[in-house]
Structure 1
Amino acid sequence: MNIEADVAEDGNVTIQVPKRYRGKRIRVSIQEADEQAASAQWSKLSDVLDGLDQLGTHSRSHLQIIDELKMFREGS
């Protein structure tokens, strides 16, 4: 599982993990996020979902789906 977080100027990181990890010991690895790649992926997903909007076959807009995906990804 990948969780993105911003590091404060003082070096502190605060993240919220999914409930299944609470009270457990976890391992955290650090790597610099490639913001350009992540942005491109969300852009491609948005384009695909825009196409679905035109079909009118689902009850949620692509913006609602993207918001739900982000919440799932962030573990909220």
Structure 2
Amino acid sequence: MLGISPSTLRRRRTAGPLTPQESDRLVCLAEVVARAHRALDSAESARQWLRAPHALLGGASSLHPQLSPPTPLPLPQSPAGSHI
């Protein structure tokens, strides 16, 4: 699912803990996979959909490495937003 080669995975395992950025990306990926699984009612269907090319992504798959996670939206700068 991650598209990581076995040698990269071995090297990464010996490198120690993930960086904060790597951890954030992994959590984001896990959330996307879980949502796809729930929406499609099957792990295999979710895997196929996430790996398939999509026209709205320029033919890339949802898991394409060049697609970055969404940028968090800033909270509103208002009295109501300060309580969120």
Query: By the TM > 0.5 criterion, same fold?
Result: no
Q: Which has the higher helix share?
A: 2
TM-score w.r.t. length of structure 1: 0.39
The structure with higher relative contact order (CA 8 Å, sep 6+) is 1
